[in-house]
Amino acid sequence: MARRNSVSKRLADLGEDALVKLLTRGLPQTPRTLTGPGDDCAVLRGPDKNRLTLFKTDCLVEGVHFTPGADPARVGWKALCRVISDIAAMGGEPHEALITLALPRTAPVARVQAVYAGIKKAARRFHCGIAGGETSSVPDDAPLMISVAMLGSVEKKFRTLRSTARPGDLLYVTGKLGGSLAGKHLDFTPRLREARWLAEHAGPSAMMDLSDGLAKDLPRLAAASGCSFLLYPDKIPLTPGCTLSGALTDGEDYELLFAVPPRRSSTMPAKWTAAFPVLPLTCIGELRPRSQKSTPLTGGWDHFA
Amino acid sequence: MARRNSVSKRLADLGEDALVKLLTRGLPQTPRTLTGPGDDCAVLRGPDKNRLTLFKTDCLVEGVHFTPGADPARVGWKALCRVISDIAAMGGEPHEALITLALPRTAPVARVQAVYAGIKKAARRFHCGIAGGETSSVPDDAPLMISVAMLGSVEKKFRTLRSTARPGDLLYVTGKLGGSLAGKHLDFTPRLREARWLAEHAGPSAMMDLSDGLAKDLPRLAAASGCSFLLYPDKIPLTPGCTLSGALTDGEDYELLFAVPPRRSSTMPAKWTAAFPVLPLTCIGELRPRSQKSTPLTGGWDHFA
């Protein structure tokens, strides 16, 4: 196929990361903004010098993030837990959310109430408030959409970005990867408690949550930190019944990926096991200087590829 | 038509205000939340005792809030200016926004860039930052959707809610009403400067922005304040070429509706004209005790009626 010129180019010709790069170029920023586009959350300076504000939005679209037949209460749970997972990945705590529901006038009231029941359940479980939101109609044949905006905060000393790891740091993941579509993607537990523990006890040099698959997300963390990476494929913890390829590219794991300087990593796994005896923690690789080649990885979730 | 039972009820059987009432019942709230669902923005307490945080989301859906052929840069402008209008209605200032774009993989890159150009233009004009956001795909035939989450703040003494007016307070609107679809709905100027001036100089007892039409929004302000209202229909400032019915029900005026205690309202119009010689300010009615009957009004924008 002939290459499209820039006028007729479609998003599918560009891919998600290139689109985001294009759109975020030259965005106006306020002086309060310490971390803008490119991390799990935006980080804002507030009046309290020791505590930073976290700000995040995330949306779910019917037919993309869940099927039309999915249990609406689990969809509501997922909508809120996805942003909580992003707040967790910064080392922070969630506070208030605003919920945007866009749905056709023909939608059953009971379905919408069930979505909200799932949202409320997650809010109570993770101690967030629902401070408001909005309902909008969409044309009759359009998909249901839920967008959640969340405020959180993190002590300045515990803030964990993607961009601050160094070559030589070891890479860890929590839990097991792959096979999320079998159900976990609607029922996962955001690693809020684990991330807080890590921020307080392990001093990760970088952290993010795995939403698009390790094959997509690990290169992002490494690039943000100006590193390349070496992955140990035989060390990747696989969900039972799942292949290595699935673990790399299925996405929606909502586990934590983080880096730890080698000097701190020797005692960390034992302390982790004492704190979280059930949830595995696995060293899956290491960061290297940018001049070295990364383990080649392809696949993972791309909205526009 | 037989009344549907609760199991098969659709949103169209319920209407927007009843849906919102149903969904916001029993929502968990954090102790920081001073004003939850029901006002133009959520109001949150922060570490600064004299300044409150404002938090708001608003979405635009293709086919509902704009036509597929609308100029994408004006759509972007509108998306950001709608939330700025809500921040203004609280007496506040906008700070950082997050942008959610949900659109099909077949969308032209140039269209998305133009939407962002309009967003950036509005952000520069009103001194906000764009701290991040998200792009998501939607199924190929689904509408483009833009959701904006905005943080703002307001000095505690200038915070202006919907719920704090009293019987006897006079009702004012800025600008002229009706006929927004002729173009204003894509090009309006949020009344940020005017609302700040009012908060500082006129001490409004309640304020909101007019997004769904006076016929819908005035009863909301009155109900929030526990009042009824008397409207002076012959005083309503009409957009040239627009009927009274259009001024009441077209919606998307993005003008301010506010109440002022009679003791403060005598000198206010003259001070307003000195500050804003071009933009009209009109007294259109008064609030009355709840026991009295309100001027009957029907129509206005309802997403689900």
ipTM of the complex, rounded to two decimals = 0.94
A68 touches chain B (CB under 8 A): no
Rg (CA), chain A: 19
Which residues are registered as beta bridge partners of A98? A132, A149
Residue with the bigger pLDDT between A77 and A1: it is: A77
| Cβ under 8 Å to A: B residues 221-250 | none
> Across the interface, which of B51, B57, B139 has its CB nearest the CB of A63?
B139
The predicted structure's pLDDT at residue A305 = 78
Specify whether the CB–CB gap between A170 and A259 falls below 8 A.
yes
B7 touches chain A (CB under 8 A): yes
Percent of chain A at pLDDT exceeding 90: 90
Rg (CA), chain B: 19
A chain contacts of residue B108, beta-carbon cutoff 8 Å: 7-11
DSSP annotation of A12: G
Specify whether the CB–CB gap between A66 and B66 falls below 8 A.
no
Q: In whole angstroms, give the CA distance from residue A296 to residue B73.
A: 39
Does position B112 have pLDDT exceeding 60, yes or no?
A: yes
Q: How far is CA A83 from CA A56, A67, A126, in A?
A: 7, 20, 11
The predicted structure's pLDDT at residue A91 = 98
The predicted structure's pLDDT at residue A270 = 94
Specify whether the CB–CB gap between B272 and B206 falls below 8 A.
no
pTM of the model: 0.95
Q: Encode pLDDT of B61-111 as tens digits.
A: 999 999 999 999 999 999 999 999 999 999 999 999 999 999 999 999 999
B282 touches chain A (CB under 8 A): no
- Cα A264-A268-A269 angle, rounded to 5 deg: 140
Across the interface, do B10 and A304 touch by the CB < 8 Å criterion?
no
